[in-house]
Amino acid sequence: MNFETQYINDRQMELNMGPQHPSTHGVLRFIVTTDGELIEKVVPDVGYLHRSIEKIGEKVSYHGFMPYTDRVDYVSAMTANHAYARSIEKMANIEVPKRGHYLRMLADELCRLASHLIAIGTYPMDIGAVTPFVHALREREKINDLLEELCGARLTYNYMRIGGVSFDIPQQFVSKTKVFLQEFAIFLDELDRMLSENTIFIQRVANLAAITTKDAIAYGLVGPNLRATGLHYDLRKDQPYACYNELDFEVPVGKGEQGILGDCYDRFIVRVEEMKQSAKMIRQIIDNLPEGPIIGKAPKTIREKDTSSYASVESSRGELGFFVVANGTANAHRVKIRSGSFAAISMLEKIAQGVFIADLVAIIASLDLVAPEIDR
């Protein structure tokens, strides 16, 4: 497993997992103290992917920082675009037209599907099942094709703008999206048979690394990792933004159906159910897309003085927020990003105690950690 070993005493070993380990989903390093095959302690060691994005936000213009937000979470970049745009719009009192809101929600939910497909595809692959990943990647490529038609990019989109979005939907986009949704519904049924109801997979991840709601709140968990503990909390429902209050959808939560509430299986199944809800939302968005402009009036140079704003969205990994401080210049005085993966990795030290070394990979995968959200 690409471990580097150091003996502490006759009983304990210190294993160095990463930063090039394939199952850490990025350049992350975990210092693992073991007693035989049992883990006594896991200490995350981050910083290998630090790019100083928050400091860059203080050196470029408000509009010029938008492409950099893609790099905060390159698996779910649309939501990072959205969160930053919302923060600046709140600060400068910029109105977004309704069609702009709907196109943002469309982009966000397509991106959420693409992100969750990576999460639920790599999860079984990390513990030995390759086939589900191939199926998930096939569906993700279809989404990438749609997003490429929408904005010209497949990963780092730079689609949203302060005040709206950069492009309207192209011709045939709605019809192609409806075809994709029909095929995607079939895939979700296949996924249930391959994984959700798979006895081997359930035995591998059920009852493993359960997180209580109390601990999740104490550690600042958000998104599917929080909802898997049974807590009904989603910014799209509890603090509606854009036009999410006009959509009909449910918020999936963990139920402990195959084991302990809040275990690795619950974190998996919540993401599967969220994909079903995102597909439901996309259908409503394209069926009710309003007419009108896609972007509102925003000054070319934003110069807000002695003010600050915080705005967040429900990203694929939970609340992703931007706190921006202005001082009257064309650049932000301070930029601070709040991300879900940073909170989730802090939980690892608690939930990985006492499990087998072989289970650590499954726990990391269940949290859906993305390295750039941790190392900003």
Say how far apart CA 77 and CA 82 lie, in whole Å. 9
Q: How confident is the model at residue 1 (pLDDT cuts 50, 70, 90)?
A: very low
Q: For residue 375, is pLDDT > 50?
A: yes
**Cβ(249)–Cβ(281) below 8 Å:** yes
Question: Residue 370 corresponds to which tokens in the numbers above?
Answer: 């993305």
- Residue 110: partners with Cβ closer than 8 Å, 6 or more residues away: 78, 143, 146, 147, 278, 282
Position 5 scores a pLDDT of 56
At residue 9, the pLDDT reads: 67
If you write DSSP's letter for every residue of 216-227 in order, what string do you get? HHHTT--HHHHH
Residue 2, pLDDT > 70, answer no
- The token duo for 238 is 């509890």
CB 286 within 8 A of CB 191: no
DSSP string covering 10-35, please? SSEEEEEE-SS-GGGSSS-EEEEEEE
Structure tokens at 262: 């809040």
Taking only the tens place, the pLDDT of each residue in 268-294 is 999 999 999 999 999 999 999 999 999
Most confident option among 45-59, 125-139, 310-324: 310-324
Contact of 143 with 291, CB cutoff 8 Å: no
Query: Cβ-count burial of 13 within 10 angstroms (0-12 exposed, 13-18 middle, 19+ buried)?
Result: middle
Q: Which pLDDT score, from 0 to 100, does residue 194 have?
A: 86
Nearest 5°: phi and psi at 260?
-75, 140
pLDDT average, residue stretch 59-87: 93
Q: Which pLDDT belongs to residue 23?
A: 65
Which stretches of the chain are assigned E, i.e. beta strand? 3-7, 12-17, 29-35, 38-45, 160-161, 164-165, 307-315, 318-326, 332-338
Q: Give the torsion through C-alpha atoms of 130, 132, 133, 136, to 10 deg.
A: 170
What's the sign of the alpha-carbon dihedral 150, 151, 153, 154? Answer: negative
CATH 1.10.645.10 fits 53-374, yes or no: yes
Sheet with 29-35: list strands edge to edge. Answer: 3-7, 12-17, 29-35, 38-45
